[in-house]
Amino acid sequence: MVLFSFTSILGGLKDELALNDAPFGLLLSAFSISYAIAQIPAGVLSDKHGGKKISSLGLSVMAIAAVAFSFSNNFGTALALRCLGGFGGGFILPSAVRLLSDWYPPKERTVAMGIFGSGQGLGFIVTYTIGSIVVEYFGWRIGSVFSGALISLAAVLAWFFLKENTKPVDNERDPVSPTGRTILTRTLLFLILVNFSGLAVLSGVLQFTPQFLTSRFDFSPLADGFVTSLVGVMIILASYTGGLGSRKIGGDYVIIVSMLMCTLLPVLLGYSYSIMSVFILVALLGFATTFYFGPTFAGVPLAAGEKYAGTVFGVFNATSFGASAFSPFILGYILDSTHTYESAFTSLSIIAVIGLVASVALKQTRRQTAHSTDNVDDT
C-alpha cells in the first residue's frame, strides 16, 4: 500500500511545495532507496529472530513515518520521512519470505507466494479508491494519516496472529557440486534482473500515470485514483494465476511471458491517445508486472539455500529494488527534458529488455541446474 501508492498523497505535497518533476521523482525514489538498504539487515534478523518480530517492527516504523509525514511542511522533512518509511517497509518482505519458507515446502511455495503477492494488489485498490476519496475531500495530510492508521492495524494483526513454524519443513536439498553452486549463483542473478525490470516498470508507470491522465485527458485526482486502482485488481489476479500457471506451463515460461509484456506495454501506453486504450493498457501493466511474482520469489530461497532464506532474499531484493528505485527519478528527468510521455514510457520499455533477456537466460540455466542435480544423484 505504501510502496507504490503514495502518488495521490505526494501529488498534493508536490503542488503545495511547487516541486518540478525531477525532485518529485526523487521523493518517490527515496522510499525505495532506504527500502533497499534495509533488506539485508532485515533478512539476517529474520533468520536469527524469526519473521514475526521483524515484520511487526517494520510495520510499526512504517506507520509512524506515515503519520508523521502528514506534518511535512518542506521538502527536506518529507524526504527524511519517506526514507524512514522505506526503511521500515524494507523489513516486510524478507521476514515474510522467511515465514513462508518455514511454512511451505518448495512444491507448494510457488502458489503460496502467488497468494501472498495478491496482498499488494489489495493495497493498491484500498489506496487508489478509498485513499483517493480521502485525499480528494480532506486533503493529502489526512490521506497520510489514513495510511498510517491502516498500517498500524496491520502491525497489531501481525503481532497477534503471525506464528513461527517450529516444525521442520521437508525442503529439497541443494545440489552440492561446484558446478551446481555456480549455476545456482547465476540463477539468483537472473532472478534479480527479472525483479529489477518488473519493479522498474511498475514503479515508473504507477508514479506517473495519474499526472499522465491529468495532462492528456484532464482527469481529476479522484478519477486518476480509480483508473490506477485497475492495477491493483490485476495484481491480485496476476499474482494468483502466476502461481497456478507455474504448475501448468512451468515457472520459467510464466516469467518470460511477464517480461515480454513489460517490454511491449509501456511504449504503447505512452503513444495512446484513447481513454479506452489507456484503461486497457494500465490494467495489462498491472498484470504484466506481477505475473512473474510467484515463481520468482519462490525460486530465491532454493537458489542459495533454505537455511538462510531471509538473508538470501534480502540480497535479492536489495539489489533488484535498489536499482529499480531510480526508475521514477529517470522518468522525472526525461519528462523535464523532453516534456513528452512518449519518451518517458519508452525508456521503461528499454529497461524491461534487461528482464526479458534475463528470463530467457534463466530458463537455460535451470536446465543446467537440473542436469547438475542429476549428476550429483548419480554420484
User: In this structure, what CATH number is given to the domain that contains residue 199?
Assistant: 1.20.1250.20
44 burial via Cβ count (<10 Å: 0-12, 13-18, 19+): middle
- Res 3: pLDDT: 66
Grid coordinates in use for 169? 519443513
Which parts of the chain sit beneath pLDDT 50? 171-183, 373, 376-379
Is 236 inside a domain boundary?
Answer: yes
**What is the pLDDT, as a whole number, of residue 218?**
86
Question: Could you tell me if residue 169 is inside a domain?
Answer: no
pLDDT at 178: 38
pLDDT at position 6: 58
Indicate left, alpha or beta for 218 from its phi (over 0: left) and psi (-120 to 50: alpha): left
The pTM assigned to this predicted structure is 0.76
Identify whether 168 is part of a domain.
no
Which pLDDT score is estimated for 5? 54
For the chain, how many structural domains are there in total? 1
Asked whether residue 344 is assigned to any structural domain, the reply reads yes
Residue from 239, 185, 199, 194 nearest 356 by CA: 194
3-state DSSP assignment of residue 305: coil
Between CA 291 and CA 360 the distance in angstroms is 16
Question: Residue 370 sits in which domain range?
Answer: 7-161+174-378
Roughly how many angstroms between the first and final C-alpha of the chain, as a whole number?
A: 49
What pLDDT sits at residue 125? 79
The 8-class DSSP code of residue 177 comes to: S
